[in-house]
Structure 1
Amino acid sequence: MKLGLLLSLTLPLVFYAQDQTPVSAKNDYPNTFSSGSANVQKFDNSARRFNDWAVSVGGGAAIMLHSDLRSIYDGKINEGWNAYVSLDKQISHTFGLSLQYQMGKSNQQGQLPGAEGVKAGVANAWTKYQQISLLGDVNFSNLLRRVDNNSPYRWALHGYLGMGFQGYETLLLDNDVSQYAPRTFPIAVDQKLGVASFFVQTGVGLKYNLSKLVDVELRSMYIMSGDEEFDGGGDLRETGHPRINYNLINDSYSDNLLTVNLGLSFKLGKHPSHLAWHDPLQEAYYKTKFLEETPSDIVVCEKGDQDNDGVCDDWDRQVDTPAGARVDGAGVALDMDLDGVIDLYDKCVTVPGPVENNGCPAGTVFK
C-alpha cells in the first residue's frame, strides 16, 4: 500500500517535468507564458543579489507519541534523542527544498491487557532509527507579509512537508517471554532501509535571523512511519499468542514519532542577504515609497519661454516667434506652403506666393 502511495505522488511530477519549451539557439531563453514576446534575460550566479544555499544541523528530543508502546506512560515522559543535518536550497522567497539525514533513538513503555499484562509487567522498548528524506519548506512569513520594508524583520514562521525512507532496529523486554529469549522473533525487529520503510513527515519551525551567516530555528516534526512495528511491539499485529500481542494494545496501525529540535542554519554565499529573508515585493514597495518621498529635482524650462510659444528656450530654435504664430515642436513658426511667409502673415496659406504679395500668387486681388 505504501509503495502505491509513493508512486501516486511521484509519477505526476515525472510527467509534468517534461512540459518544456524548446529553443532553437543557445542564446534563447524559453518562456512558456510569454510565447517569446517578453524581454527575458539570463539569470545566473553573477546576476543574483542574494544567497540561496544553506547547511542546517540540529538536535533535540524524540517522543513516540501515537503508538502501542509510548514514550509518555503513567504520567511520565521517557524521552529519547535525535539529530539531523540537511542541505537546503531556497527556490523562491516563499519555498525551498531540503535533503535531510536524521538519526535518533526513542524509548517506550507499555503493558498488555489482562492476565498476560500482570505476568509480563510493564514492558520497556527502544527504537533506533536512521532516515533520509526530502523536505518542502514554505515560508509563511514571506507568503503573508505584504507591508512596506522600512523595518527589517528577523522572525519567520516555516511549514514543512516531506517524505523519505528509514531503517530502524527495535527491542522490547518484559518480565515474561523476554527473560527466556530477549532477542528472538517477534520482540526484536531489524528493518532495513528501503521502499518498505517509506514514511511521511510534517511540522513547523520558527526561525530567527541571527546574522547574515547564521539562522537559529526551533522546529517540531511529526513523523508518520506507516509501520506497526516502529514502536518495538514486534513485526506482527496478531501473533496468535496473547503473551506477545503488544501491537494490539490499541487500534493504531501507524506508529508516529514527535521530534522537537533546536537547530542552526549556515547560509552559504558571498551576498549580504539570503533569499529566505529577501522578499522581492518588499524591495519593490520600499523603492516605490522612497521615490514617493524623494523631492523632485527636475527643473522644466530653466531658461524660460521668451516668445510664449509653448516651447522652452532650452530647445527652442526660434526664440523670437511673433505673438500668435503657430509653431512646430522645435518652436519654429509654421509655413505650410513653404513660400517664406509664415502662416500668421500669409494670405494664401496653401498656395505659395512672393513676400511682396503677402504670400499669394502674383495678380491676386485682395478685397
Structure 2
Amino acid sequence: MKLGLFLALTFPIAFYAQDRSGVTGNNEYPNTFSSGSAKVQKFDNSARRFNDWAVSVGGGSALMAKSDLTSFYDGKINWGWNAYVSLDKQITHTFGLSLQYAMGKSNQRGQLPGAEGIKAGVAEAWTKYRQVSLIGDINFSNLLRRVDNHSPYRWALHGYLGAGFQGYETLLLDNDISNYNPRTFPLSVDQKLGISSFFYQGGLGLKYKVSKLIDLELRSMYILSGDEEFDGGGDLRDTGNPRINYNLINDTTSDDMLTVNLGLTFKLGKHNSHLSWHDPLQEAYYKINVLENASDDFVVCQKGDKDNDGVCDDWDRQLDTPAGARVDGAGVALDMDLDGVIDLYDKCVTVPGPVENNGCPVNTPTTK
C-alpha cells in the first residue's frame, strides 16, 4: 500500500517535471504555453501585422415600426432621421466590439378607435432620442468564406447585437383634447438618459472595402425600447380616459424602432491590413501557393568555387588550392603521409620526407 501511495504521489511530479524541463520563463520560447516549436513569436503589439481599431460614422432614416403610433400609417411612410458615431475594436478576425453614440428623430401617426378617434382625428407625434450602447459585431463572411488568394475579397456580411441606455423626448398633438386642456396636453414625455431607459438592439450590415483605410457599409438595426411611451403616446398605458388612451391602440408594451443607415468606417493604424478583413489561414495559403509555383532550380555554391576544387567557397577552408590537387570535404589539399608536401607534389605519397627531396626520404632517389 505504501508503494502504491508513493507511486501515486511521484508520477504527477515526474510528468510535471518532464513538462517543465524546457521552460526558463513565460516570455521565452519554446515553453509549455507554446507548441514546442523553436520559431514561436511572442504575440504583442510589436508582433501585430494588422490594424484592429477603427472609427465609424453614418446616418439615415429612423422609423417607429412596432408601436401604437407608427411611422407606417395609411399606406404612407413618415420618415425620420438617425446618425451615429462609434469607436470600434476588433478582437478577432470574426468578432469585434463597438462603443456607439446615436441620435435622431422619428415621426409617427395614429388614431384612437371609435367616436374619440373621429373627434380627435389622426394624431401626429414625434420622438427625439439619444443613445449610448455597446455592440458586438460578428463577421459572418470571415466565419464562412473560402480563401483562394486569387480573387479580391471586398464584401463582408456582419451581424450586430448590443444593449445600452437612451434618453428621449416625445410630443403628441391631435384635434381634440390637446387644443382644449393646455395644462395637461399636448401629451409629452421627457425621459432622461439613465438605467431606467435600458434598450436592446440587433441587426445586419453589408460592408464594402473601398481601400485599406475606408469601408462603406449599409446597416439596418432593430431597436427594442421596452418602453410604452417611446412612440409619443404618453407615460401611462390605461389612463381611464378613452380620449387619451393612445397606448391602447395596439396590444404592445414595447415600442420598437427600425433604423437604416449608410456609413463609413475609418481604419486606424500603420499596417496595410485590418483584422476585420484578415483570415489567419491566408498566410498558410500564400506559402503553399509560393511552394507550388516555386522554380525547381537549385542554386549550388552561391559564392562560387574560385579554386575549382569542387568545394564551395561558402565552406572551403583553403580557397587557393592548386589546380589538380585532391582535396578533403573542407577543400584542403590532401597530404596522406603528413610530411608537409601535398600529394600533388609528393613523389613518395605514403612515406614522409622533407620538402627539399619532394616528400621522399633523404636516402631515396626521386625523379624530377
Runs of 5+ unmatched residues, structure 1: 1-24, 301-312, 315-329, 331-367
Residue 284 of structure 1 deviates from its aligned partner by 1.6
The aligned counterpart of 2:91 is: 91
Aligned residue pairs, count: 280
Residue 285 of structure 1 deviates from its aligned partner by 1.6
Q: Whole-Å Cα distance in 1 between the matches of residues 281 and 50 of structure 2?
A: 14
- Aligned AA for 1:52? D
Q: Is the 8 A contact 1:186 1:236 kept in 2?
A: no
For the structure 1 residues 182 and 214, does the alpha-carbon distance in structure 2 shift closer, same or farther, using more than 3 Å as the test?
farther
The aligned counterpart of 2:196 is: 196
> What is the DSSP-based 3-state SS (H/G/I as helix, E as strand, rest coil) of the residue aligned with 2:284?
helix
* 1:1-367 matched pairs, under 5 angstroms: 28=26, 36=33, 38=35, 41-182=41-182, 184=184, 187-298=187-298
Residue 42 of structure 1 deviates from its aligned partner by 2.7
- Aligned AA for 1:141? S
Q: Whole-Å Cα distance in 1 between the matches of residues 86 and 228 of structure 2?
A: 28
For the structure 1 residues 296 and 133, does the alpha-carbon distance in structure 2 shift closer, same or farther, using more than 3 Å as the test?
same
For the structure 1 residues 37 and 149, does the alpha-carbon distance in structure 2 shift closer, same or farther, using more than 3 Å as the test?
closer
> What is the DSSP-based 3-state SS (H/G/I as helix, E as strand, rest coil) of the residue aligned with 2:243?
helix
Q: Whole-Å Cα distance in 1 between the matches of residues 207 and 213 of structure 2?
A: 13
Q: Whole-Å Cα distance in 1 between the matches of residues 173 and 259 of structure 2?
A: 24
Q: Deviations over 1:114-147 (max 9, x none)?
A: 0110111000000000000001111111110123
> What is the DSSP-based 3-state SS (H/G/I as helix, E as strand, rest coil) of the residue aligned with 1:242?
coil
Q: Whole-Å Cα distance in 2 between the matches of residues 277 and 297 of structure 1?
A: 35
Measured on the aligned residues, the alpha-carbon RMSD in Å equals: 2.7
- Aligned AA for 1:163? A
Q: Whole-Å Cα distance in 2 between the matches of residues 66 and 182 of structure 1?
A: 29
Residue 181 of structure 1 deviates from its aligned partner by 3.8
Q: Deviations over 1:159-199 (max 9, x none)?
A: 11100000000010001111134573782111111111110
The aligned counterpart of 2:352 is: none
> What is the DSSP-based 3-state SS (H/G/I as helix, E as strand, rest coil) of the residue aligned with 2:218?
strand
> What is the DSSP-based 3-state SS (H/G/I as helix, E as strand, rest coil) of the residue aligned with 2:270?
coil
Runs of 5+ unmatched residues, structure 2: 1-22, 301-310, 313-328, 330-368
> What is the DSSP-based 3-state SS (H/G/I as helix, E as strand, rest coil) of the residue aligned with 2:82?
strand
Q: Whole-Å Cα distance in 2 between the matches of residues 223 and 290 of structure 1?
A: 48
Q: Is the 8 A contact 2:56 2:265 kept in 1?
A: yes
Q: Deviations over 1:195-250 (max 9, x none)?
A: 11110000111111111111111111100101111000011111111001000001
Q: Is the 8 A contact 1:150 1:286 kept in 2?
A: no
Q: Whole-Å Cα distance in 2 between the matches of residues 261 and 109 of structure 1?
A: 22
For the structure 1 residues 244 and 152, does the alpha-carbon distance in structure 2 shift closer, same or farther, using more than 3 Å as the test?
same
Q: Whole-Å Cα distance in 2 between the matches of residues 226 and 26 of structure 1?
A: 56
Residue 280 of structure 1 deviates from its aligned partner by 1.3
> So what's the TM-score if we normalise by structure 2?
0.71
The aligned counterpart of 2:308 is: none
Q: Is the 8 A contact 2:172 2:186 kept in 1?
A: no
Q: Whole-Å Cα distance in 1 between the matches of residues 182 and 266 of structure 2?
A: 44
Q: Whole-Å Cα distance in 2 between the matches of residues 181 and 146 of structure 1?
A: 66
For the structure 1 residues 260 and 177, does the alpha-carbon distance in structure 2 shift closer, same or farther, using more than 3 Å as the test?
same
For the structure 1 residues 41 and 254, does the alpha-carbon distance in structure 2 shift closer, same or farther, using more than 3 Å as the test?
same
- Aligned AA for 2:136? G
Q: Whole-Å Cα distance in 2 between the matches of residues 35 and 176 of structure 1?
A: 77
The more displaced of 263-272 and 143-152 is 143-152
Q: Is the 8 A contact 1:94 1:139 kept in 2?
A: yes
Q: Is the 8 A contact 2:134 2:163 kept in 1?
A: yes
Residue 299 of structure 1 deviates from its aligned partner by 7.1
Q: Whole-Å Cα distance in 1 between the matches of residues 104 and 276 of structure 2?
A: 28
For the structure 1 residues 182 and 276, does the alpha-carbon distance in structure 2 shift closer, same or farther, using more than 3 Å as the test?
farther
Larger radius of gyration: 2
Q: Whole-Å Cα distance in 2 between the matches of residues 118 and 26 of structure 1?
A: 84
- Over the matched positions of the two proteins, sequence identity in percent amounts to 77
Q: Whole-Å Cα distance in 2 between the matches of residues 214 and 124 of structure 1?
A: 40
